[in-house]
Amino acid sequence: MFAQGGKELNRVLGTVNTAVLLISSFTVAASITALQRGKKGQAISLLLLSIFCGAVFLVNKYFEWAAKFHHDIFPNSATLQDGPDGLNIFFGLYYVITGLHGLHVIIGMLLLTITLVLVIKERVHKDRFQLLENSGLYWHLVDLIWIFVFPLFYLVL
């Protein structure tokens, strides 16, 4: 019954979110390279794109959760309480893990935004880019975790 829960998820939205996060990882890495080469404007644009990708991920996740709530599919809802136990367990784990991941996306966006402001103020620059590099590492970790979350929930058979 656990696998049945995966069939209730929108695989297209999950795949789009995966692509969005992979693109954002690329743009963060490219912003570091741009800053190291002294291309401040390009680094700023790439950081803005990374933050935008994080926002797209969160908006997609909002619509996905809203659709589930609309169909009375959330932990301990009447639909799941009357259904198989595996389905309630699946959605309990789904909401906790994707919710925690979303929280970490928000934290990553805040880190990238702080770094962006410091790049604009030239406190982070080509000779002092460690904050951007560390923020990028955090962002990559969040993206990597999604690479494990996606198949666990969306591709379960």
φ/ψ of residue 96, rounded to 5: -65, -50
Question: Residue 84: its pLDDT value, please?
Answer: 82
Beta bridge partner(s), residue 125: 128
Q: For each successive 10 residues of the chain (157 residues), what is the average pLDDT? A: 86 96 98 98 98 98 96 88 85 95 98 98 96 98 97 89
Say how many C-beta atoms besides its own lie within 10 A of residue 78's C-beta. 8
pTM of the model: 0.94
* 105 class by beta-carbon count within 10 Å (0-12 exposed, 13-18 middle, 19+ buried): buried
Question: Residue 157: its pLDDT value, please?
Answer: 72
Query: What domains sit in the chain, N to C, each tagged with a CATH number?
Result: 2-152 (1.20.120.80)
Q: Which two tokens stand for residue 98?
A: 């994707």
Say how many C-beta atoms besides its own lie within 10 A of residue 33's C-beta. 13
